[in-house]
Chain A
C-alpha cells in the first residue's frame, strides 16, 4: 500500500479495505462513471488493494474524452478565423481532432486562449469588442451552471461578441445506455459526486429499479471511494437495490436548485453524439432558441464534414468499459501522453492517461 499513508485517515482506509474483503463472497463488476474517480482509483492504488473478486470498470465520465472529433474540428476552424479568439479549458487543448488539436492550431498562429472559467471568456469578449470570442463549452452537469451563467451574463451586459460552442453531456442517459446494452456486465454504479452536487440523485432511483442495479453517490478522495465501494458491495451481497449517498457532506438529494434553474434558463435537453460511443438520446444540452445568438454553431457558418475516428484508437471500447487501457495494443507504445492517438490518453480524467501515469502493475502485465 504505497499511498495509504497519504490518505486523509490511513487507519480508517485500512478498516474499509478489511470490511470490503470481509463481505465479498462473489465476483462483482462495478463501474465508476466519473473520470475524476478513475484518476483517483488508479493514482492511489485502490484498484490494487481491492479483493480480486471486485472488478472496477471505468466509465465514459470524461467530458474531454467524449467530445466528438468534429466538434474539435469546429473549434480548430473557429480558432483559425481572423477575427475569433477561441477560449477553452486547458484539458481540451491537446485532444486530437481529425486534422489537428487546438494546441497545433495555436502553434500555427490561431488565437487560442486557455481560461479557468467561462466567465473569464465573457470578460475577454468585453475587453476585445472588435473580436468574436467563442468559449468551447465542454462538460458534464457539474460544469453546465457556469457555462449557462456565462451566456446570461453576456446577455445582461449586452456583450454581443460572445458565443459558446457546446459539447454538454449528461450522466444518467449514459448510465441507461450502458445498462441497456445487450452485453452489459455492470452490476453496480458509483455515481459521480460533483454531478450530483448540481443535479441531486432523485432520477437515479428509477434507473436503479428498472435495471436492478444498485448505486452509491460517491466522492473523489481515496477514503470516499473505499466507503462507496463498501456500501455498494454490501448492497450487492445482500441483494438490495437502492440508491445511497456516501458523499452526503456535499451532496443533497435534490442537488442545487439554483444551479438547475440557471441550466434550464439557457439549455434544453437534446440527443448528443459521444465520441467513441455514438449517439445517446436525450443525453446533452443545447442552447435554447431564446439565446441562439450566443450559439457559435448558429452564429458562424462552420463547414466541417463529420470526420472519421482514428481507427487505431479503441477509445469507444475503453469508454464503454468493455476494455481496459492495457488491452489496447498501442497503449504506452505508439500512444502516450506526448503523442496521444486518442482523447483518453490526453485528459487527466481519461482512463488511458491514468493507467499510463500511475499504474505500475499495468506495465508488469504488458
Chain B
C-alpha cells in the first residue's frame, strides 16, 4: 500500500479552492482523479508521484517514464491496477 507511482496531469478539472484542486491523471493510459493540494505549483503536462490518490511531488518526465517502465516489467503495475479498481491484492 505504500507504493507511490508516477502519472501525467492531463487536465486540471477542479479548482474550487486549494483543498479540492484535483486533476485527471494518466497512469500509462489509466485515467484517475488525483488531488493536487500538496503540489500547488503543478500544471497540466507535469508528472507527479501519486500515493493513494494524492500527488506528493512533481517528478521529471524521463524519471517518471523509467519508473513506469520498471514497475510494469516487474509486474507491480498489475498490483496497482487492482488497487485503483478496488480489488483485493493477489495472494
Contacts and interface: CB of A to CB of B under 8 A. Distances in A.
A192 B3 CA distance: 12
B57 A91 contact: no
Interface string B40-80: 10000000010111101101100100110110011000010
Interface in A1-40: 6, 8, 34-36
A116 interface: yes
B54 A113 contact: no
A143 interface: yes
A131 to B, nearest CB: 17
Of the listed residues B52, B67, B89, the one surrounded by the most CB atoms of chain A closer than 10 A to its CB is B52
B12 interface: no
Interface in A179-213: 192, 194, 197-198
Contacts of B20: 153, 156
Given A117-B52, A120-B53, A194-B2, A93 B88 contact: yes
Contact of B51 (A64, A114, A143): A143
Contacts of A44: 74
B2 A142 contact: yes
B54 A145 contact: yes
A256 B54 contact: no
Contacts of B33: 119
A282 B59 CA distance: 32
Contact of A145 (B38, B49, B73): B38
Contacts of A338: 91
A349 interface: yes
A194 B51 contact: yes
Contacts of B52: 89, 116-118, 139, 143, 146
Interface in B1-48: 1-4, 17, 19-20, 32-33, 35, 37-40
Nearest to B79: A348
A44 B76 CA distance: 12
B34 to A, nearest CB: 9
4 nearest A-B residue pairs (beta carbon): A117-B53, A146-B54, A259-B38, A116-B84
15 contacts: A8-B66, A8-B70, A89-B1, A90-B1, A114-B86, A140-B2, A143-B2, A143-B52, A145-B38, A146-B52, A146-B53, A149-B19, A192-B2, A249-B60, A250-B49
